[in-house]
Amino acid sequence: MNILELINKSPYNCDLVECEFLLNHYKSLDNTYDFKMKVRAIERQIKKLTKPKQKLQWELDAEEYIEITKRWESLGCYWKDNSYYCKWYYKDKEFYMWWSGSHISDNIIKAREADKLLDKFFT
């Protein structure tokens, strides 16, 4: 890509290398005031691109739920699926149920409680 194409490209569509190149280019000009808005946009994009990626809370909840259910299966638990809900059993005794369409942030709270209840079966 040549310099003209890069200058005409939106900073929000640039990768980190392109942003750094453009920022250095604009800051090297004598009339940087004319490009103040463009420089700020490039700086925002650089900040966005260099910001550490963080997982959303619901993604962390989903990963925890997967680990909990893997543990349940390793203990001999099984689940039965209905089109509206899913029930978990240990030796034919139901200990957890979630509804279709419910959010993982709600389910994980109930799954943690069910996990504690399951521990009582083994003590």
Digit-coded pLDDT (tens) for 106-117: 999 999 999 999
Q: What angle do CA 36, 39, 45 make, to 5 degrees?
A: 145
What pLDDT score was predicted for residue 54? 77
Name the residue range of residue 15's domain.
Answer: 3-50
Q: Which residue has the higher pLDDT, 84 or 2?
A: 84
Residue 94 CA to residue 10 CA, distance in Å, equals 56
Query: Mean pLDDT over all residues of the chain?
Result: 91
Evaluate if pTM is beyond 0.85: no
Q: In what order do the strands lie in the sheet with 85-90?
A: 78-81, 85-90, 93-99
Q: Using the predicted structure, report yes or no on whether residue 41 has a pLDDT greater than 90.
A: yes
Q: Using the predicted structure, report yes or no on whether residue 44 has a pLDDT greater than 90.
A: yes
Q: Quick one: 64 and 37 in the same domain?
A: no
Q: Quick one: 64 and 102 in the same domain?
A: yes
Q: Quick one: 40 and 87 in the same domain?
A: no
Structural domain count of the chain: 2
